[in-house]
Chain A
Amino acid sequence: MTEIQSPLGGTHRRPDAMAKATGQTRYVGDLALPGMLHAAIAVSDRASARVLDLDVASARRMPGVEAVVTAEDIPGENQVGVIFPDQPLLVTDRVRMVGDRLALVAARTPEEAWDAARAISPAYEDQLGVFDPEKALDEASPTLHGNDNLLHTFQVLRGQTDPDHLDAEVIVKAHYEIGGQDHAYLEPQACLAVPEGDRITISASCQCPFYIQQAVARVLAIPLASVRVEQAPTGGAFGGKEDYPSEPAACAAVLAWRTKRPVRLLYSREFDLQVTTKRHAMVVHHRWGADKDGRLVFAEVEAVLDCGAYAGLSTVVAERANVSAIGPYAVPNVMVRTRIAFTNNLFGGAYRGFGAPQVSFAAEATMDTLAHRLGMDPLEFRRINLVTPSDPLTCTDQPLEAPQMARACLDRAVKDSEEHQTAMRAPDSWRRGRGIGLVLYGINLHRGGQFLDRSSAVVILQPDASVIVRVGLTEMGQGNLTAVQTVTATALGIQPEKVQVWQPDTTTVADSGPTVASRGSHSSGRAVLDAIERLRRRLDPIAAELLSCRPEDVELAESCARVSGGGPSVPLIDVTREMAARRIETISTGWYRPEPREFDEATGMGEPYASYAMACHVVDVAVDPDLGLVRVEHVAAAHDVGRVLHHTAAEGQVEGGVVQAMGWALTEELKLDQGRLLNPSFTDYLIPTSDDAPPVTVALLEDAPGHGPFGSKGLGEPAFIPTAAAIRNAVCAALDVEINRLPLTPPVIVKALAKNHRFKDLIE
């Protein structure tokens, strides 16, 4: 008998792929209902002003308009702040950012809705705004909320926290200016609200249906149970559909409630780029010291996040940035201070990496600069400072389970980079450089968010031995349906095709928190395993009867139930038919909840994360020394993944993460003027194309099991985090300069070359 291969770590087809490839998948924009109205939002075009008079009467009379809603028409609370109640759904007296909502329109066509929304133009009295996050913290700056612009401060204090009392041979002081980033998911924000008496259904392109459920219940003043949120197939997210979609969903819900008709809201690309959340721009100051042998003595980090006008998720982003600021290095003395500043700039939100990419960029840049000052090779300098089994503590004093994986990832990526053979594509006159980015990633939610860290699953075994699975974590392209399908099929010993994982719906599973922090496959997979364990308490006795064995000797494999140790077997379908015939319950729920952890927010000591993963990217670049153009020639990526659940999906996460981070590093510049985005289009905001994409060599290291199903670890974010630092280090090595900002656009590089540039007279 041929052994049927376990799907674990396999390359079987994604369950959602063929429908997407043949155009059958219905995204929100492909859903329409009879009588459906189209929504539009009137927004502020200025960043800081008093609203003196908001007249919507003329908009109400425009063609096709069925409703125009202002703050006073909101049935419930006029509030969409996800953590702090500081953000109105519709502003009344003051705008704090470009894109603040003034009024909502529902009309018979999208064109009529947006025409009416654009016609709404209140009388403003402009006020002084603040657009520099560090200046925003000055006492003299105009404030957005309350008495000052400081939202919160986080710290890590370890050992001697005043570097003036420490001896170091070499000290590097560096100042990093790190730009934000737009998610640039290919499907803009979209949702559909369908009212039905005293309840409402929302279909949304989103990561977090339970966030939307809460937001809609709040603005409509109805119970959570009256809000059903179905996650529609979602065309990319990357964090941009975590917190933000609650806002458009609340808009559509209010209009649907008002008109008693289905209302669909689709953003245009320009509107999406202009008003949605962004990766936080950050300013980071470093003072790091090493002794003459090249051992790190201290690391001092001062980081300021540009929060934008509302708190949103900024405290949670800063929390991750704060404890990620040092990387996988053993540093005895650490002082990190992470502050969040309100400004009138774009609204900072969740984005893949969640604050870690910015501070990791700074850390890895400083590591290279220190190595150069010490006259050491950056690779060797990293090696002697890594966390190790004999020195396994993170900067928060948390012992790592597998510190050796830092060295393993570093060595593997360097080896893969050196062995890569493909011909370079850039001209010979360009300069070459290689750079390293090495990071320590805390898997899943920070301790501050652990109250959200639970997950629900429902497994229904069908009479034909196929299986329906429902989980509370979402598929946004990353492959959660595939991961959950694989976990289920592996646990039940059946083929993946027999498992149907349906899109999340808040009426089928309990609140499972957000699909963020690389926790999707981990949290939903563990809940599914729990559901299957409970299901087997009813299945195994039936199988045991058919096999004439004890229930505890039943194992499931190869689509059969069999006596463990190679005994007789019976097809699983015989067992499921028997269960159906006897009317035995074949639906099972599962739950996952990690253990509570201790963390002292004042000192930053403790266990911010349950466990960690390492990742290293080594990048080869070519740089045009005249024009400052950068070509990424190759990326070697080594990841500590614990166990691969699905090989193709895991590789896809890394390949996609690398290229997305390359965009952030090189071309994706959010050009702002007084809080307004000047380049809200893909012509002016440049995300990488197929012509820019480098070859990526992916190594998935399975040496250190994690806490996800079958020992897996989260991968979505570590796939992104190391790349930008590695690119920066490679560019600096190629040109023998130090550039401490992102993105590394041609003007930035040419300016850095300064007196070494061929046309230096023209540049000045």
Chain B
Amino acid sequence: MPETIVIHLTINGTERSFRTPAGRRLLDLIRDDAGLTGTKEGCGAGECGACTVLLDGRPVPSCLVLAASCEGHKITTVEGLVKGGSPHAVQEAMVETGGVQCGFCTPGVIMTSVALLRDSIDDREEQARRLAGNLCRCTGYKKIFQALEVAGNTDD
């Protein structure tokens, strides 16, 4: 058996601890140990962004993050954006504008978008650069940008 360790972290506002192999990726801890399958694996190499989660509020590809390095930190996944049964403004906006097609990139796109809005990035060029780590093969990105705009106005 591989060496196991105990990791304590906060996922979606709840403090949790997991006994897990030492080399576990944050993505696997989220999906397999915490059972939060909303976070997707599209490449396993940090290239596609489908597995993006917020680590202390910062978007990271969870396939490249060692779970053990998250000891004591805060993780937010796409499931954690729903508060009191109400979806986040970005989730609402993605649905409203048609930014969702096949849906596989959607959770990652939403997590990056949430961080963009929180940082008040409203320059389109800057948004395009920051979203470039989230590949989408269906939409051509136009409706994802529209969703950012709609959600930005909702937040105000």
Question: B-contacting residues of A (Cβ < 8 Å)?
Answer: 11, 13-14, 16-27, 29-30, 183-188, 233-238, 268-269, 425, 476-479, 648-649, 651-652, 655-660, 681-683, 687, 689-693, 695-696
Contact = CB atoms under 8 A, between A and B. Distances in A.
B137 to A, nearest CB: 5
Given A13-B95, A690-B131, A691-B128, 19 more contacts: A14-B100, A17-B94, A17-B100, A18-B87, A22-B91, A23-B38, A186-B42, A186-B104, A269-B44, A269-B48, A476-B102, A478-B101, A479-B101, A658-B140, A660-B140, A690-B129, A691-B132, A692-B132, A693-B128
Contacts of A652: 98, 101, 138-140, 143
B43 to A, nearest CB: 4
A269 B97 contact: no
B42 A651 contact: no
Given A22-B91, A269-B44, A477-B138, A233 B103 contact: yes
Interface stretch (B3-11, B64-72, B75-83): B75-83
A234 B137 CA distance: 13
Contacts of A425: 125
A683 B133 CA distance: 11
A21 B94 contact: yes
B35 to A, nearest CB: 10
Contact of A235 (B39, B47, B78, B102): B102
A487 B127 CA distance: 36
A20 to B, nearest CB: 3
5 contacts: A23-B77, A659-B140, A691-B131, A693-B128, A693-B141
- Which among A21, A188, A689 has the highest number of chain B CB atoms within 10 Å? A21
Contacts of A18: 87, 91, 95
Given A27-B104, A695-B142, A186 B136 contact: yes
Contacts of A693: 128, 140-142
A21 B40 contact: no
A486 to B, nearest CB: 13
Interface string B113-147: 00000000000010111011111111111111100
B107 interface: yes
Interface of B: 31, 36-45, 47-48, 50, 77-79, 81-82, 87, 91, 94-98, 100-107, 110, 125, 127-129, 131-145
Contact of A656 (B39, B95, B139, B145): B139
B102 A236 contact: yes
Contact of A234 (B81, B102, B135, B142): B102
Nearest to B103: A20
- Which among B39, B97, B106, B134 has the highest number of chain A CB atoms within 10 Å? B106
Contacts of A695: 142
Given A186-B48, A655-B142, A682-B43, A235 B103 contact: yes
A29 B41 contact: yes
Top 6 nearest A-B pairs (CB, nearest first) are A23-B38, A477-B102, A20-B103, A235-B104, A659-B140, A682-B47
Contact of A236 (B87, B104, B110, B140): B104
A270 to B, nearest CB: 8
B78 A22 contact: yes
A180 to B, nearest CB: 16
A185 B41 contact: no
Nearest to A635: B140
A657 B137 CA distance: 9
A184 B104 CA distance: 12
A29 B40 CA distance: 8
A22 B103 CA distance: 10
B137 A236 contact: yes
B126 to A, nearest CB: 10
Contacts of A237: 102
A20 B100 contact: yes
A238 B137 contact: yes
Contact of A16 (B87, B103, B105): B103
B36 A23 contact: yes
A17 B87 CA distance: 12
A660 to B, nearest CB: 6
B137 A687 contact: yes
A206 to B, nearest CB: 13
Nearest to A273: B43
B29 to A, nearest CB: 15
Contacts of A648: 97-98, 143
Contacts of B129: 690-691
A753 B95 CA distance: 46
A187 B82 CA distance: 24
A452 B94 CA distance: 36
- Which among B31, B81, B139 has the highest number of chain A CB atoms within 10 Å? B139
Contacts of A233: 103
Contacts of B36: 23
